[in-house]
Amino acid sequence: MTQLTPRAIPVVMIHTGYSPYLPYTLAQAKATNPRSQIVLLGDRRNAFLNFVHHNDISNYFAAAKAFDQVYRNQHRSPNSYQYELLCFQRWFILKEFMEVNHIPVCLHIDSDLMLYGNATEEFDRIQVKHPKVEFTVHNRGCGHNSFITLSGIRKFCNLIMETYTNPDLFEIIEQQQAKRRADRPHLPIEVLGGISDMSLLRRFCELYPDKIASTGEIIESATFDFKIDSDSGGYEMENGLKKIQWRNRQPFCKQLNSDQWVRFNSLHFQGGTKKHIDQYFKGNVLTVFYYKLTGRVLWKLQHS
């Protein structure tokens, strides 16, 4: 990996395979973070997306592989084993990547997240308000746009491994999940979810409250998104999505209870809202067109 621009925080995305929205989310991050390295930790199926820094996750998979051995008999989720396993493994992959490349802090984003804020500037703002911060999460359990320090990711990965190798610690997570079910009896298990990496993030927040900040907090009239189809935080909605107003290619949404316009550093297109990603793109259209076309050609060649 080439030398980072001084103080520019890298933006890291982990994704296996190719999805048609990937060129949009990667190009959007690149457009708003020109001094940062945009890193895709992927595989051979998305290696052609070389307008960002592509690294194969197999180079950083040792700890992730070790976790598979302890997780396989303790899968407690309605989601598939492989899906939930990879959700856990991504944290070990990220830790190993940061250690190998001597990265003290990065912004980790899910592959269905559009990034509009400058990672370095936004982390500086968070640090001013939370000087001890080592990790940020959303709603005490979501890591889809998280600033992560090397010390923070080491703590979190240690917690995951210790929880899955110590029956007493795993029981704490099971009790936590049982309480969530009791508090939300109307929700089906498919909606409530089972034990996942989000369960461990919630536990992480309990153990290190002074070292974890919320990316959902409004700082200097700006925040990061939970989900574009969620009114969490009291934001104005329209047709099931946040009602966005664009100003200088930046998304703003009104918080109704304060009547304040809030700038969004990100918009998260989870689940079925992924189909809207292209409509919110503010980067280089030619880049996206070229790589989407390349993706289609490669797909046809592989399936011909």
Fold annotation for 11-220+277-303: Spore Coat Polysaccharide Biosynthesis Protein SpsA; Chain A (3.90.550)
- pLDDT in the model for residue 300: 81
Query: Mind listing the pLDDT tens digit for each residue in 22-37?
Result: 999 999 999 999 999 9
- Biggest CA-to-CA distance, the chain: 56
- pLDDT in the model for residue 143: 95
Query: What 3-state class would DSSP assign to 239?
Result: coil
What are the φ/ψ torsions at residue 64 (nearest 5 degrees)? -65, -40
Strands 222-223 and 212-214 come out as unpaired
The residue whose two tokens read 């992730």 is: 64
Intervals of the chain under pLDDT 70: 1-6, 187-193, 304
- pLDDT in the model for residue 192: 61
Give the Å distances, CA to CA, from 171 to 99, 142, 164: 31, 21, 10
Query: Mind listing the pLDDT tens digit for each residue in 155-193?
Result: 999 999 999 999 999 999 989 888 877 777 776 665 566
